[in-house]
Amino acid sequence: MIYWLYELSGINILGYITIRAGVSFFLALFFTLYLLPKFIKWAQKTSSVQPINNWAPQRHQDKARTPTMGGIVFISATIFASLLTIKFSNVYALGALLTLVLFSLIGFQDDFAKIRKNQNLAGLKARTKLSFQIISALLIASFLYFFADFNTDLFVPFLKMPVINMGMYAIALWVLVIISTSNAVNLTDGLDGLATVPSIAALASFSIIIYITGNVKISSYLLMPTFDVGEVAIISSALMGALTGFLWHNCHPAEVFMGDSGSLAIGGFLGYLAIITKSEILLLLIGSIFVIEALSVIVQVGSYKLRKKRVFLMAPIHHHFEMKQWAENKIIVRFWIIAVLSNLIALITLKIR
């Protein structure tokens, strides 16, 4: 709508991506702050609360009556704010919205099944959930390859030129990136606000990279590839605003959880951003906390299957520190610090080419 007003009125300020990104941030923030308290009251009345896994540390049992599926609110706020501010003719922006919708729907199905059966492990079966994720990621990757005709070069940090043109194999990599990131964020969402701030930090980094990638002059100066992806920064900014509003109620002690409807969508979206900015490798640094959490699960499962021994007291790794009697706030804040620092390092690498 705002871009339409720019075309209709000719007021240049309404056409700037930075201005519309700022507007989308505050729109999503206000929508979330307004809607979330209403959602919490509704969830409490209808018993739409988070079932706690019996294997989780004992302190988690106190959170059994906390409303879940808050992701539905902030993802809806993000989409609504984006629709009011983006340029609809940009295919990459449409792909970003598609990613949010598809992965939020998968998460919603999982959350709803858990609530209905009042069991943490009663959601979608792992194989079913993965199948839905593969289908969704394949749709998004195919959209980029066939409809958007997106570049298939693979870039590596510190190198000026791409290392290889992947051709159709790019679809396989893109699917892997989207699914891996989606599940990694989902694994991280285990403590109050733990996944929220690292997500905001990652979105901030990607928003900067998207703006650079979409600007011919800046990208040429930094020796980075150029694509018409600038509009996606508006959606990324909207999600940052929505998550900031969500954090108001999600910080310890949490009044609401995002659920899979939020974490799967955030992760899928971050994977999409990594793809369109040619930052698939840099994503390992931008999403360092998510990578650490996912690796801890892989190491734990692999070690137990091969050696019948556990590496951590419990996985994902934030539960390991809980078992060591670390205060929940200490774990959360320290993970936040690591996330912010790793994103600062990631941004510094952009000039080293």
Lowest average pLDDT, out of 56-70, 142-156, 290-304, goes to 56-70
* pLDDT for the residue numbered 21: 95
* pLDDT for the residue numbered 6: 57
* Cα–Cα distance measured from residue 256 to residue 43, given in angstroms and rounded to the nearest whole number: 9
Instruction: With both helix axes pointing from N to C terminus, report the angle between 196-213 and 288-307 in degrees, rounded to the nearest 10.
Output: 120
Rounded to 5 degrees, φ, ψ at 67 are: -60, 145
* Cα–Cα distance measured from residue 238 to residue 74, given in angstroms and rounded to the nearest whole number: 9
CB 283 within 8 A of CB 198: no
When pLDDT is averaged across residues 292-312 and rounded to a whole number, the result is 94
Question: Where do we find the tokens 């539960």?
Answer: 319
Lowest average pLDDT, out of 18-32, 79-93, 119-133, 238-252, goes to 119-133
* pLDDT for the residue numbered 67: 87
pLDDT confidence of 44, banded at 50, 70, 90? Answer: confident
* pLDDT for the residue numbered 148: 93
When pLDDT is averaged across residues 90-117 and rounded to a whole number, the result is 92
300 vs 194, 307, 345, CA distance in Å? Answer: 20, 10, 28
Domain map of the chain by residue range?
A: 24-51+68-150+158-285
pLDDT confidence of 296, banded at 50, 70, 90? Answer: very high
Q: Which runs of E-coded beta strand occur in the chain?
A: 153-154, 164-165
Nearest to 32 by CA among 240, 273, 333, 260: 240
Amino acid identity, position 266: I
